[in-house]
Amino acid sequence: MKLEKMGVPTAPVVTMVFAELVKKVAYNGGMPNKRFTFVPHPIVAVPASVCRDYLQGNDPITGKIVIQEIIEALTKPLTEPEKKVGFLERAEPRLLGPDTAGSLQNLFLKNGWTDYLPIVLPTEEKVAEMLKGTSRKPDEVVGKMQASGAHPMWSYTVEKVAVNAVMAGAKPEYFPVILAIASTGVTSLFTSTTSFARAVVVNGPIRNKIGMNSGIGSMGPFNHANATIGRAWTLVSLNLGGSGMPGVIYQGSQGSTVNYNNNCVPENEEALPSGWEPLHVQKGFKPEESVVSVFSGWGIGRADFNRGGIIHVQIPFFLQTCSPFAGATLYLDPLVAVRLKEEGFDTKKDLVQWAYKSSLIPIEDYWNKYQLIRTFNLPKGEKGVEPYASWLKLPKDALKPRFEKPEDITVLVVGGGTNPAWQLGDFKYIASASVDKWR
Amino acid sequence: MRKGINWSFIGVFLVASLLVVYASQAEEAKITVLNPRGAPPPIHLIPMAPRLDTLAGKTIYIVDARFPDTYQLLEEIQRLFAKKYPEAKWVLKKKSGAYAEDDPKLWAEIKEKGDGMIMGVGH
């Protein structure tokens, strides 16, 4: 669209599964009538002969001959709608109804405003109650969020976050935590065909004040605050960040169950071995501050049920399951943390540094076996961007650390101490935000 | 005797009707809720660029968006178009950087030296 604005006619060619997405992006970008040509999907690794057939065949969406459609996109005179200028406002009404509760539940469901689980209808009374959880004014802007870099930024107020917090079933005392998450501007429903997931960790006194569970079953469906705070982030991302609409905005080919709750957990700070700092302190906050931290990745797997032997030597083995494009977040049961301290890791930093240096990947594998490395890092290296440019010059039999930097590995202590097991997420830290600011 | 029976039935009927009306009113109680949706920015409509009246003598850039392993489609576009529309010049170029990255240098080149652009193709 940039070239169109510069006065150069363009003819984009797109694979058919992205038809609704590109039309939406063009619409949001101000060219609702942009001329696209579609070819079958996928094109990745499809032989040239098949590509030729696609070009000489029919556009699977419009039915036109592809090669002619491309020429037409460049040469057919503009229609009146294609020449239009002006603004399209997209205001939404503040209130919905009046209608029966059943009809409103169906409305929310039909419009894709929920996670398809029943919601608490956000009546004015319930939203007013939620707003008592903060001293901030209802019309104050909390932040801006977008489904991806290609999509517009939506802005949202304290009241709008409250509406979604009510829908999630949260209590007013949880609201500052939800506002803090919303203030990061990070969507939990980032759109990519790779099916991103996000994770959130809560630190500080707020965890116990609102009754979060960092012990037995912390990462499971056993606590109201853990469940509804995580869910609220999903609803905020859906309704206030412009995500959702599978096939139009959201493109995750498989999706992720993590999206329901974003693995919302409080760190078990009380179970940290001496010298091991809570996450928020590692990020520069004071221990007495309450903080949320958000992460980006794709999923969580169980790493081990170690009962004997040395624990730390297993860590690089399991880190091999993380793409070098991602990060790694180790959710360690307190029993594992104690053992690692006994094995010589006096601080979380010691463990992270060791894990970083011990998790190596052959450079050939790094450049050739990972889709996202080839898509994003290889072009950067070819452009001369460091450290990728230097990595491109490494000998073919070289080994390098799997992750870009030690900070891409996070260590948390979560769980009830009944089994020295741990879980591994390929989550990379994004940002932290103060909860106290939103009280 | 007939009158007594009629009053009983009428009484029962009235009570039953009231119960039905009351029940249906309770079921159909209506409420107002707040809209959960946020505010997308207004859309600024931008006119598309004027189209080419002819391909003759024109230079059309064919740009690879740099999604891995899709370059072969762009090569085929160049091959086919050069054969079918020899009156135009078809210049094949790879955009620099990853597919989501901007390439202002290339856009400036196309603006200066080109008359149109074909671009593809994600995935």
B107 vs B92: CA distance, rounded Å:
14
Write down the pTM of the prediction.
0.89
- Same domain for A183 and A294, yes or no, is yes
The last residue of a domain, from among A53, A83, A113: A83
Chains A, B: CB contacts within 8 A come to 263
Check if A349 contacts B (Cβ < 8 Å).
no
Instruction: Give tens-digit pLDDT for B76-92.
Output: 999 999 999 999 999 99
Q: Give the distance from residue A92's alpha carbon to the nearest chain B alpha carbon, in angstroms.
A: 7
Give chain A positions within 8 Å (CB) of B43. 27-28, 30, 32, 87-88, 90
Tell me if A75 and B53 make a contact (CB, 8 A cut-off): yes
Q: Does the CB of A159 have a partner CB in chain B at under 8 Å?
A: yes
ipTM of this model? 0.89
Output the pLDDT for position A266. 98
Is A72 found in the same domain as A117?
no
User: Is residue A385 domain-resident?
Assistant: no
Q: Does A185 touch chain B (CB under 8 A)?
A: no
Q: A12 and B118: CB-CB below 8 Å?
A: yes
% of chain B exceeding 90 in pLDDT: 63
**Residue B29 in contact with residue A233, Cβ under 8 Å?**
no
A68: nearest CA in chain B? B81
Residue of A nearest to B101 (CA): A376
Q: Are B40 and A19 in contact (CB under 8 A)?
A: no
Residue-wise pLDDT for A172-226, tens only, equals: 999 999 999 999 999 999 999 999 999 999 999 999 999 999 999 999 999 999 9
Indicate whether A129 and A252 sit together in one domain.
yes
Q: Does A34 touch chain B (CB under 8 A)?
A: yes
> Of A54, A83, A112, which one is at a domain's C-terminal end?
A83
Strand partners, A305: A421
Check CB contact of A214 with chain B, cutoff 8 Å: no
Contact A88 B34 (CB under 8 A): no
Residue A164 lies in a domain: yes
Q: Where among A83, A117, A152 does a domain terminate? A: A83
Confidence of residue A306 (pLDDT cuts 50, 70, 90): low
Nearest C-alpha of chain B: how many angstroms from A107? 11
In A, minimum Cα distance to B67 occurs at A375
How many domains, in total, are found in chain A? 2
Position A271: which residue type? A
Beta strands at A10-15 and B116-120: parallel, antiparallel or unpaired? parallel
Q: Do A11 and B116 touch (CB under 8 A)?
A: yes
Answer yes or no: is A421 within a domain.
no
Evaluate if residue A437 carries a pLDDT over 90.
yes
Chosen from B27, B31, B32, B33 to mutate, greatest number of chain A CBs within 10 A: B33
Whether A311 has a pLDDT exceeding 50, the answer reads yes
- Domain assignment present for A382: no
DSSP string, A38-57: EE-S--TT--HHHHHHHHHS
- pLDDT, position B22: 54
Q: Which of A183, A335, A150, A330 is nearest to A251 (CA)?
A: A150
Same domain, A113 and A64: no
Closest-CA distance of chain A to residue B13, Å: 28
Q: Taking 80 as the threshold, does the pLDDT of residue A255 lie above it?
A: yes
Task: Answer yes or no: do A134 and A274 share one domain.
Answer: yes
Taking phi over 0 as left and psi of -120 to 50 as alpha, with beta for the rest, A278 belongs to beta
Same domain, A293 and A161: yes
Residue A401 lies in a domain: no
Instruction: Classify A276 in phi/psi space as left (phi over 0), alpha (psi -120 to 50) or beta.
Output: beta
My answer on whether A111 and A10 are in the same domain is no
- B64 - beta bridge partners? B94, B120
A46 and A74 both lie in a single domain: yes
Q: Are A239 and A189 in the same domain?
A: yes
Instruction: Please classify residue A415 by burial: count the beta carbons closer than 10 Å to its beta carbon, then call 0-12 exposed, 13-18 middle and 19+ buried.
Output: buried
| Gap from B108 CA to chain A (nearest CA, Å) | 9
CA distance A279 to A209: 18
Confirm if B29 and A100 have CB atoms less than 8 A apart.
yes
Cβ(A130)–Cβ(A172) under 8 Å?
yes
Domain hosting A64: range is 2-83
Q: Is the pLDDT assigned to residue B52 strictly greater than 90?
A: yes
**A66 plus A200 within the same structural domain:** no
Query: What pLDDT is stored for residue A303 in this prediction?
Result: 75
Contacts of A54 in chain B (CB under 8 A): 73
Q: Are residues A56 and A166 in the same domain?
A: no
For range A238-250, the mean pLDDT: 94
Q: Is the pLDDT of residue A36 over 80?
A: yes
Asked if the C-beta of A383 comes within 8 angstroms of chain B's C-beta atoms, the answer is yes
Looking at the structure, tell me whether residues A40 and A151 fall in a common domain. no
Q: What is the pLDDT of residues A148-160, one digit of tens each?
A: 999 999 999 999 9
Q: By three-state DSSP, how is residue A201 classified?
A: strand
pLDDT of residue B1: 44
Higher pLDDT, A287 or B67: A287
Q: How does pLDDT run across A117-138, given as a tens digit for each residue?
A: 999 999 999 999 999 999 999 9
**Residue closest to A83 by CA, chosen among B111, B49, B43:** B49
- Please report residues of A whose CB lies closer than 8 A to that of B85: 71
